[in-house]
Amino acid sequence: MKRSELEKYLGKDVTIKLFDNDVITGELHKTGEERFRNDQNLYIPQKCYFLINPRSCLFKSSHVKKLTEGR
């Protein structure tokens, strides 16, 4: 999925299917957001994404096969 398309959903609840067919659900965020400044794993990496509530692994936009809004 293109980064520009994925970033339309930042801060929203989404369900994402990754390239390895894992399905993760939560609130979409991008690394480097000021909110996560105290967590180096979520602040320092560039151009990565993750979900919170529950917290997921970091992934790149190219890892996303399918995205749906809502839980």
**Cβ-contact 51, 57 below 8 angstroms:** no
What's the pLDDT score for residue 33?
Answer: 96
Q: Which residues pair with 52 in a beta bridge?
A: 27
**Cβ-contact 24, 16 below 8 angstroms:** yes
Alpha carbons 68 and 53: distance in angstroms, whole number: 16
Q: Whole domain around residue 51: which residue ranges?
A: 3-69
pTM for this structure? Answer: 0.91
Q: Given its phi and psi angles, is residue 36 left (phi above 0), alpha (psi -120 to 50 degrees) or beta? A: alpha
CATH code, domain carrying 57: 2.30.30
Q: Give the total number of structural domains in the chain.
A: 1
Give tens-digit pLDDT for 13-65.
999 999 999 999 999 999 999 999 999 999 999 999 999 998 899 999 999 99
